[in-house]
């Protein structure tokens, strides 16, 4: 139980004793389940990312036309050097 209290403190949790005991029991069950899985020989099994036969359908990035920087910035209401100048934005 002390080990679980250490995890509780590390994760900044404050649990009642009954919650702590219930969660500790579930955590013990999970640990035992993973120990069982760890014992399974998977040496001949290919890693699986998805069970669906989906392939990447996105096209590759292709540069079609380069527009000169001056032409891009020509319509900018405000600029500084070779960049757009925008109002400062602060998250509050």
Residue 67, token pair as written in the block: 């527009």
Q: Confirm whether 84 is domain-assigned.
A: no
Residue-by-residue DSSP string for 30-60: HHHHHHHHHTS--TT----S-SS-----PPP
Determine the structural domain holding residue 10 and report its residue range: 2-38
83 found inside a domain: no
Residue 32 lies inside a defined structural domain of this protein: yes
Residue 8: inside a domain: yes
Would 61 be classed as within a structural domain?
Answer: no
At 40-78, the pLDDT tens digits run 998 998 888 888 877 777 888 888 888 888 898 888 889
Tell me 92's DSSP state. -
Q: How far apart are CA 69 and CA 72, in angstroms?
A: 5
Residue 12 lies in a domain: yes
- Domain membership flag for residue 86: no
Number of domains in the chain: 1
The mean per-residue pLDDT over the stretch 12-35 comes to 84
**Confidence category of residue 2, pLDDT binned at 50, 70, 90:** low
How far, in Å, CA of 31 to CA of 23, rounded? 12
């Amino acid at each position: 139980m002390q080990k679980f209290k250490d995890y509780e403190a590390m994760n900044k949790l404050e649990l009642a004793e009954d919650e702590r005991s219930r969660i500790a029991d579930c955590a013990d069950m999970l640990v035992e389940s993973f120990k069982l899985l760890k014992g399974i020989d998977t040496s001949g099994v290919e890693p699986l990312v998805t069970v669906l036969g989906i392939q990447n359908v996105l096209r590759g990035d292709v540069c079609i036309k380069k527009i000169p920087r001056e032409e891009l910035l020509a319509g900018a209401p405000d600029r500084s050097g070779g960049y757009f100048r925008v109002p400062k934005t602060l998250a509050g």
